[in-house]
Amino acid sequence: MKREIKFLFYFILFISLISVTSGRPMYMKTFVDFPDEVKVCTTCHVQSSGYGGLNPFGKDFYESGKSLTPELMQLDSDGDLFSNIEELRAGTNPGDSGSTPKEESPGMTAIIAISAITLLVIIRHTGKKRK
């Protein structure tokens, strides 16, 4: 009985090591120019374990010869209205329609520009009244 338990322990350890080392880090090199958020298995797979198959981007990536072709970059694999290149640059998942780049807000530059224009209009207007 002890021998069988020992065998089972080593078998499970062996299987665990195989599953850890059978990851596909070579595909991660393809995404070297993009944020770390997309250098994960779920960029192409449904699950991080690799089970569940490929997501829509993973299928398109596979069909494009496992490389980031210009055609693949222009596609919107997950149908969320953002192209794959937009999503990869933003660090969102191009294979998950629930993961999208955030809408850009006007930001401080626009607020400062509007304030400066308003201030100039007020100064000109009050300057004309004094004359």
Q: What does the binding site for Ca ion look like in residue numbers (CB under 5 A)?
A: 76, 78, 80, 82, 87
Q: Which two tokens stand for residue 93?
A: 């998942």
Q: CB nearer to Ca ion: give 61 or 82.
A: 82
Q: CB nearer to Ca ion: give 14 or 71.
A: 71
Please name which of 62, 66, 75, 70 lies closest in space to residue 30, comparing C-alpha atoms: 66
**Nearest approach, Cβ of residue 46 and Ca ion (Å):** 16
Q: Measure the CA–CA gap between 5 and 84, rounded to whole angstroms.
A: 49
**Nearest approach, Cβ of residue 6 and Ca ion (Å):** 50
**Nearest approach, Cβ of residue 74 and Ca ion (Å):** 11
Q: CB nearer to Ca ion: give 60 or 76.
A: 76
Helix/strand number for the chain, H first, E second: 6, 0
Q: Measure the CA–CA gap between 8 and 5, rounded to whole angstroms.
A: 5
Q: For 45, list phi and psi in degrees, rounded to 5.
A: -105, 155
Q: CB nearer to Ca ion: give 70 or 127.
A: 70
**Nearest approach, Cβ of residue 83 and Ca ion (Å):** 6
